[in-house]
Amino acid sequence: MKDYAYELDIAANSAPARMLRLIGQNKCVLEIGCATGSQTRLMRDELGCNVTGVEINAAAAEGARPYCQQLIVGNIEELDLKGLLGDARFDVITFGDVLEHLRNPQLVLEKVKPFLADAGYIVASVPNIAHASVVFEMCHGRFDYRPTGLLDDTHIHFFTKRSITRTFEDAGFLVVKLTRSEVRPEHTEFKTRAACREQQELLDYLYQNNAESLTYQFVIQATPVTVDSISPVSSMAQAAAERISELETRLGTSEKRVRELESNLAWIHNKPLARLYRSLFSRVR
């Protein structure tokens, strides 16, 4: 994986900041893919966490070393975690833009599960391949990899909301919280802008029919599913999640209808006959 170094404001709406807020204070954290330690430093200095870092890039890992209680250099898919961590347990295990770089993200999620403490959970950020800018590019026959971003040239897997949720479920986790870092297409690395009416209609269609068209990254909190956790409460949570998804879809349809009505009203308002009626009524008054 690449070395991603950046400045970070915990109060921001970016995916890394959202992750930090989900991690919380005074936690024992296993950070998979700590890179040069941008998040590691804040977890230690601002949140009071003890962090064990895992990083495949040896040079980048040296930047994170001062902020780690323990630093492991190697490929998470190949490391012997039991031999390296022993009986250690963590309140939180994080994957900040990591799962999309792995050959088998499900197996890695299963691999780290035994190292979660009681009531422990995973926090992860994942790019959304269904973002309007990527779909716009594909509609024009382009799927060009880039040094960073949604089509980073080191990405092996691409996720939508449905597929990343399914990956966690197949690994034995329940997604209990999912938030979004949103970016408009024109502000992405693609700088997507409509050059003609047909392209604007395409973007409008995406906005109206894809609830995740502006989602740049998903930020997920997931807990392991155990025999004890399979209860009516879990069933209710799942039913609630399905109901929320249904309502989101219905809301998107309603918003689309409102926009259509507003467009029709604007069209009628600007027709010559409508202008004539308004002129006549104003004279009568």
pLDDT confidence of residue 9: 80
Query: Do both 30 and 163 map to the same domain?
Result: yes
Q: What would the two tokens of residue 154 be?
A: 């080191």
Question: Letter for the amino acid at 77?
Answer: E
- Return mean pLDDT, the chain: 88
What does the pLDDT look like over 243-264, one tens digit per residue? 676 676 667 666 666 666 666 5
Would you say residue 1 lies in a domain? no
Query: Do both 116 and 252 map to the same domain?
Result: no
First-to-last alpha carbon distance for the chain, in angstroms, is: 72
Would you say residue 6 lies in a domain? no
| The three-state (H, E, C) secondary structure of 178-212, written as one string | EEEEECCHHHCCCCCCCCCHHHHHHHHHHHHHCCC
Query: Do both 132 and 34 map to the same domain?
Result: yes
**28 SS3 class:** strand
Would you say residue 8 lies in a domain? no
Q: What would the two tokens of residue 113 be?
A: 């599960």
Query: Do both 279 and 222 map to the same domain?
Result: no
Residue where a domain stops, chosen among 201, 230, 259: 230
- Enclosing domain of residue 274: 233-285
Lowest mean pLDDT among 9-13, 89-93, 222-226, 267-271: 267-271
Taking the C-alpha atoms of residue 136 and residue 186, their distance in angstroms, rounded to an integer, is: 11
Instruction: Answer yes or no: are the C-beta atoms of 73 and 61 closer than 8 Å.
Output: yes
Query: Do both 156 and 209 map to the same domain?
Result: yes
Query: Do both 160 and 238 map to the same domain?
Result: no
Residue where a domain stops, chosen among 212, 230, 248: 230
Query: Do both 257 and 146 map to the same domain?
Result: no
Would you say residue 2 lies in a domain? no
Query: Do both 177 and 257 map to the same domain?
Result: no
pLDDT confidence of residue 58: 97
Query: Do both 208 and 278 map to the same domain?
Result: no
Would you say residue 199 lies in a domain? yes
Write out the DSSP string of 113-176: GGGEEEEEEEEEEEEBTT-HHHHHHHHTT----BSSSTTBTT----B-HHHHHHHHHHTTEEEE
pLDDT confidence of residue 12: 86
Would you say residue 4 lies in a domain? no
Would you say residue 43 lies in a domain? yes
Domains: count for the chain = 2
CATH code where residue 72 lies:
3.40.50.150
Name the DSSP class of 268. Answer: H
Phi, psi of 222 (to 5 degrees): -135, 140
Q: What would the two tokens of residue 50 be?
A: 């003890």
pLDDT confidence of residue 285: 53
Query: Do both 125 and 255 map to the same domain?
Result: no
Query: Do both 41 and 142 map to the same domain?
Result: yes
Taking the C-alpha atoms of residue 63 and residue 67, their distance in angstroms, rounded to an integer, is: 9
**13 SS3 class:** coil
Instruction: Answer yes or no: are the C-beta atoms of 124 and 105 closer than 8 Å.
Output: no
Query: Do both 59 and 182 map to the same domain?
Result: yes
Would you say residue 31 lies in a domain? yes
Taking the C-alpha atoms of residue 83 and residue 145, their distance in angstroms, rounded to an integer, is: 37
Instruction: Answer yes or no: are the C-beta atoms of 167 and 99 closer than 8 Å.
Output: yes
Residue percentage of the chain with pLDDT more than 70: 78
Longest dimension (CA), the chain: 90
Residue where a domain stops, chosen among 187, 207, 230: 230
